[in-house]
Amino acid sequence: MDTRIAKQSEIEIQLRGSTLIVAIKLEVFLMNIIYFSNAQQYNNPESKSLKIKHLTFGGKIERAKDLLSKHHPDLLLSSSLLFDKLDGFLKFRNQIAHCVIFWPNEKVYNLQIWDVVESPNKLQFYAPIDFTTKEIKIKIVDYLNQITPPLIALQNEVQQRLQRSDPEVFAVLSSATSTDDK
């Protein structure tokens, strides 16, 4: 294999992998927000809010927003910037995870992500978005730093509210979701 192609492949794996690692970390917090959002959902094992196994990353964002809207509207309102950032990260994550990466020239640090765009007349087609690997790495770190602290704070607040409103359900959930000894 040509060394340039090998280097491009290595960089592509790093960029895609780093993005997905961030997504996985954020998903854990989103899932905790879903699980701890309210005690009533545990009265019915068929509760839609508990059915998250096949939800995508975007689906978990939407489910968290839906549950916050229903059970903690004040938290959803105060977290609007956080959810805007999550939506931005979702779009970026989907581009990195699912779109074709093309290397337009010999420089391995310039690349294009080909994504579907929609014209004003609703015609959809592939179009390139130019990036450097440095720009993508900066975006990954920026999203991680901008989203993680407020998402953890939101998760903690949701957990504290459940602990106050239903300590028994909170205790069961806490022991089931604990990663201390796993």
- Residue at 54 is within a domain: yes
Is the pLDDT assigned to residue 179 strictly greater than 90?
A: no
Distance of CA 159 to the CA centre of its chain: 20
- Residue at 120 is within a domain: no
Which of 28-32, 93-97, 105-109, 150-154 is the least confident region?
Answer: 105-109
What is the model's pLDDT at position 182?
44
What is the model's pLDDT at position 181?
47
- Residue at 151 is within a domain: yes
- Residue at 114 is within a domain: no
* Count, residues in the chain: 182
Asked if residues 151 and 27 have their Cβ atoms less than 8 Å apart, the reply is: no
Please tell me the distance from the alpha carbon of residue 34 to that of residue 36, in angstroms, as a whole number. 6
Is the pLDDT assigned to residue 139 strictly greater than 90?
A: yes
- When pLDDT is cut at 50, 70 and 90, the band that residue 59 belongs to is very high
Residue 98 phi/psi, 5° resolution? Answer: -115, -15
- Residue at 104 is within a domain: no
Is the pLDDT assigned to residue 114 strictly greater than 80?
A: yes
Say how many CA atoms lie within 13 Å of 47 toward its Cβ.
15
Which residue(s) pair with 117 in the sheet?
125
Domain range enclosing 138: 3-98+133-177
Is the pLDDT assigned to residue 180 strictly greater than 60?
A: no
- Residue at 107 is within a domain: no
The residue-averaged pLDDT of 88-116 equals 91
- Residue at 119 is within a domain: no
**What's the structural domain count of the chain?**
1
Q: Which residue has the tokens 């579907």?
A: 116
Which residue(s) pair with 124 in the sheet?
118
Residue-wise pLDDT for 44-54, tens only, equals 878 888 888 89
- Residue at 123 is within a domain: no
